[in-house]
Amino acid sequence: MKILIAGFQHETNTFAPSEADWDSFVEGGGMPGMVEGEALLDFKGINLPLGGFLDDLEGEGHEYLPVIWASASPSGKVTKDAFERIVGKITDALKQETPDAIYLDIHGAMVVEHIDDGEGELLKRVRELVGDEVPVVGSLDLHANVSHKMLKYADAVVAYRTYPHVDMDETGSRAAKLLKLRLDEKKRRYCAFKRIPFLIPINAQCTDLEPAIGTYSLLEKLEAEKDVILSFTPGFPASDFLDCGALVWGYGQDAQDTLDAVNQLAAWVESKESEWWVDLLDPDQSVLEAIRISESSTKPVVIADSQDNPGAGGNSNTTGMLRALLRHDATDAAIGMIYDPQSALAATRSGEGSSLKLALGGEPALNDPPLEDTFLVEKVSDGVMTVKGPMMKGAVIELGPTVCLRKNGVRIVVGSRKAQMLDREMFRIAGIEPESMRILVNKSSVHFRADFTPIAETILVAQAPGPMPADPSTLPWKNLGHGIRIKPKGEVFENSNQNPVNFNAQVV
């Protein structure tokens, strides 16, 4: 076959202060930067969906039409310019040549300045160009807000089953298998789906914890029993549009079996509603608790600075947790990463061993002022690193000039590009051995667990200021679906301009 391959990923927090423009996708943030053409084939062997897709089809003699792969750090809406330019490259390729099949490595939670459902619009445009006979399959993030439009225009889409996302390549491989099934069976499988009637907070979606463990265990059991392929996305609860929220869906050769499997899995998710929650600590509580635990531990206590997670729309620049560490005289503590290109450049120029005054970090949109103080420059780095932990193992990330600053007993990793602290190498490039610290504060919600859980005494979740509330009910929703609960066991959102969301199982 000749298979068109492309990727376009963005997780949009419509409440976040920064937009994702063309340059954001060129840089890539915490993901690889934009690549075009044959360079897409270099993703083989990397823990990304495109890598798994290519690995699965290795040796089968297919020809690829590689177009573009682009991802930007989660943020506010994608600009119209960036969306139209990237989608335009994909549709232009299809206008020139019709492939035998199409694979799209997409996220599922993209909101654009002029379009609420970015992936649904991409799939619609692709389908209109190639017609119904060319199979179109895609892979989705576990945080996808999956729309009816996505399910309508794709022959099949499948989602990650882990958070931290250590199965991205496996998901690409599942997409490849679905493509082969579609070609063998010569028709689309039945697709059934059911919406979950409450938003699930990001921290509670961790698949190392219950109820997610039991949910995905049941998913695999139902797949075997019903001969279906299932997905469950807890969703990204910070995208203010109609289809925001969790969804269960599946594909099968028998419509009733597919519907039954979807209903059973959704019923399980809903029965655990009160368990889809993680307790939160304020900055002072989390630091004091970490100090207490670390006094009798040989391993570091890890604190998630979840609400400023650049992997969920934060700018990774708030100072709430840093101030708490300093306020309580924490020692052998490290925090990362603070996104502040100006401070990183100033410290680089000042040099290792020097001291200089800085106005570090700060988020104007949250009335979070910079921390003005004198810091010791302990380490200067070019910020080029290779991921060694389970998340994106083997991927090369460029963080720009990156430094380690020290104030009293606290070390601060400051970088020039936004990226969540998901890998221990992000401390090491700044000269910090994370295993030797008593306290580690990571600007991340859950992804850090993949590489940090093995070295952690315990993990605490802090609710410091940031644009990605750990409690979705605190967001100023306006366009959410009418009738959905804005947190587990929370209030029902009412939108008089909409019909109630249909929470019954449906067949596409």
d(CA 246, CA 256): 22
What does the pLDDT average to over 171-185?
Answer: 96
DSSP for residue 404 = E
* Tens digits of residue pLDDT in 195-250: 999 999 999 999 999 999 999 999 999 999 999 999 999 999 999 999 999 999 99
With bands split at pLDDT 50, 70 and 90, how would you rate the model's confidence at 468?
confident
With bands split at pLDDT 50, 70 and 90, how would you rate the model's confidence at 158?
very high
Give residues with Cβ within 8 angstroms of 19, minimum separation 6.
Answer: 75, 76, 77, 78, 79, 113
Do the beta carbons of residue 78 and residue 10 sit within 8 Å? Answer: yes
Give residues with Cβ within 8 angstroms of 401, minimum separation 6.
Answer: 341, 344, 345, 348, 380, 381, 382, 383, 415, 416
Question: Would the pTM count as exceeding 0.85?
Answer: yes
d(CA 75, CA 77): 7
* Tens digits of residue pLDDT in 91-134: 999 999 999 999 999 999 999 999 999 999 999 999 999 999 99
d(CA 266, CA 169): 25
* Tens digits of residue pLDDT in 371-403: 999 999 999 999 999 999 988 888 888 999 999
What does the pLDDT average to over 274-294?
Answer: 96
Q: Domains in the chain, start-ordered, CATH in brackets?
A: 2-276 (3.40.50.2300), 283-462 (no CATH)
Average pLDDT, the chain: 95
Q: What is the pLDDT of residue 469?
A: 84
Question: Residue 265, class by beta-carbon neighbours within 10 Å (0-12 exposed, 13-18 middle, 19+ buried)?
Answer: buried
d(CA 472, CA 489): 12
With bands split at pLDDT 50, 70 and 90, how would you rate the model's confidence at 32?
confident
* Tens digits of residue pLDDT in 302-360: 999 999 999 888 889 999 999 999 999 999 999 999 999 999 999 999 999 999 999 99
Strand partners, 6: 104
What does the pLDDT average to over 162-180?
Answer: 96
DSSP for residue 475 = S
Where b means 16+ CB within 10 Å and e means fewer, 91-101 reads: bebbeeebbbb
Q: Over pLDDT 90: what percentage of the chain?
A: 90
Question: Residue 325, class by beta-carbon neighbours within 10 Å (0-12 exposed, 13-18 middle, 19+ buried)?
Answer: buried
